[in-house]
A and B are shown apart, each in its own frame.
Chain A
Amino acid sequence: MEFMAGLAQYNFLKNALIAVLIISPIFGILGTMIVNNRMAFFSDALGHGAFTGIVIGSLLGLMEPLWAAVAFSIVFSILITAIKNRSKASTDTVIGVFSSTTIALGVVLAPLGRVNVRNLMFGDLLSITLSDIIILMAVLVAVLVIWTVMFNKMLLVSINQSLAGSRGINTLLVDMVFTSAIAVIVTVSIQWVGLLIINSLLVLPAAASRNIASNIRQYHLISILLALVSGITGLVLSFYWDCATGATVVLVCALFYFITLGLRRRFT
Chain B
Amino acid sequence: MNRHECECQNGCCGLCCTKIENFGVTLGRNQILKDVNLHIHCGELTALIGPNGAGKSTLLKAILGEVSHTGELKFMDAKGSRNGKPIVGYVPQSLNMDLSSPASVFDLFIASGSVMPAWLFATKGMRKRVVESLERVNASHLIDRRLGALSGGELQRVLLALSLDPMPQLLLLDEPVSGIDQNGMELFYNTVSELRENLDLTIILVSHDLDLVLKYADRVILLNKTVLCNGAPKEVFRDEKLVRTFGMSWYKSLEQGGED
Contact = CB atoms under 8 A, between A and B. Distances in A.
Nearest to B66: A165
A268 interface: yes
Contact of A159 (B64, B103, B172): B103
Contacts of B111: 151-153, 155-156, 159, 216
Contacts of A32: 119
B90 interface: yes
A268 B146 contact: yes
B90 A220 contact: no
Among B90, B121, B163, the one with the most A-chain Cβ atoms within 10 Å of its Cβ is B90
B107 A216 contact: yes
Given A213-B102, A215-B104, A148 B117 contact: yes
Interface residues of A, number: 30
B254 interface: no
Instruction: Classify the secondary structure of B's interface with A.
Output: mixed
A215 B159 CA distance: 17
Interface string A204-230: 000001100111111110000000000
A102 B88 CA distance: 43
Q: How large is the interface on B (under 10, 10 to 19, 20 to 34, 35 or more residues)?
A: 35 or more
B110 interface: yes
Interface in A186-219: 209-210, 213-219
B118 interface: yes
Interface in B108-154: 108, 110-112, 114-115, 117-121, 144, 146-149
Nearest to B98: A159
Contact of B112 (A151, A152, A161, A214): A152
Nearest to A219: B102
Among A152, A156, A213, the one with the most B-chain Cβ atoms within 10 Å of its Cβ is A152
Contacts of A218: 102
Given A160-B92, A216-B103, A268-B146, A167 B112 contact: yes
A135 interface: no
A104 B81 CA distance: 61
Nearest to B114: A152
A218 B106 CA distance: 13
A252 to B, nearest CB: 22
A151 B107 CA distance: 11
A160 B61 CA distance: 13
B101 A159 contact: yes
A156 B90 CA distance: 13
Among A161, A167, A214, A215, the one with the most B-chain Cβ atoms within 10 Å of its Cβ is A215
Nearest to A215: B104
Interface in B49-67: 61, 64-66
Given A151-B119, A152-B110, A214 B92 contact: no
Contacts of A148: 117, 120
Contacts of B120: 148, 217
Contacts of A147: 117, 119
A162 interface: yes
A210 B102 contact: yes
Given A32-B119, A165-B64, A268-B149, 17 more contacts: A148-B117, A152-B112, A152-B115, A155-B103, A155-B107, A156-B108, A156-B111, A158-B98, A159-B108, A159-B147, A160-B97, A160-B98, A162-B66, A166-B163, A167-B112, A216-B102, A217-B119
Interface of A: 32, 36, 147-149, 151-153, 155-156, 158-163, 165-167, 209-210, 213-220, 268
